[in-house]
Amino acid sequence: MTERTITRADLAEAVYQEVGLSRSESATLVDSLLDQIADSLLSDGAVKISAFGSFVVRWKGERVGRNPKTGEEVPIAPRRVLVFRASQVLKDRLNAAHESEAAS
Amino acid sequence: MTKSDLIKRLAEANPHLTLRDVERIVATVFDEIAAALARGDRVELRGFGAFSVRERAARTGRNPRTGEEVAVPDKVVPHFKTGKDLRERLNAHS
pLDDT at residue A17 in the model: 96
B38 interaction partners in chain A (CB closer than 8 Å): 93-94, 96-97
If DSSP states are collapsed to H, E and C, what string results for chain A? Answer: CCCCEECHHHHHHHHHHHHCCCHHHHHHHHHHHHHHHHHHHHHHCEEEECCCEEEEEEEECCEEEECCCCCCEEEECCEEEEEEEECHHHHHHHHHHHHHHHHC
Contact across the interface for A47 and B1, Cβ inside 8 Å: yes
* pLDDT at residue number A1: 54
Q: Is the pLDDT of residue A93 over 60?
A: yes
With CB atoms and an 8 Å threshold, state whether B49 touches A82. Answer: yes
Q: Give A100's pLDDT tier (boundaries 50, 70, 90).
A: confident
User: What pLDDT does residue B62 have?
Assistant: 93
> What backbone torsions phi and psi does residue A84 show, to the nearest 5 degrees?
-105, 130
Sequence letter at residue A9: A
Statement: residue A91 has pLDDT above 60 = yes
Q: What is the mean pLDDT of residues B8-25?
A: 96
**pLDDT tens string B27-85:** 999 999 999 999 999 999 999 999 999 999 999 999 999 999 999 999 999 999 999 99
Architecture of domain B3-90: Irregular (4.10)
Is pLDDT at B94 greater than 60 in this prediction? Answer: no
Model confidence over A17-54: pLDDT tens digits?
Answer: 999 899 999 999 999 999 999 999 999 999 999 999 99
> Quick one: pLDDT at residue A28?
97
Quick check: B16 pLDDT over 80?
yes
Chain A stretch 48-67, residues whose beta carbon is closer than 8 A to a beta carbon of chain B: 48-53, 55, 57
Q: What is the pLDDT of residue A99?
A: 87
Please tell me the predicted confidence (pLDDT) of residue A27.
Answer: 97
The β-bridge relationship of strands B59-62 and B69-72 is: antiparallel
Can you give the pTM of this predicted structure? 0.90
Which of B42, B48, B56 should be substituted to probe chain A, the one whose Cβ sees the most A Cβ atoms within 10 Å? Answer: B48
pLDDT at A101: 82
Name the E strands within B1-94: 42-45, 49-56, 59-62, 69-72, 75-82
* Integer Cα distance of A84 and B51 in angstroms: 9
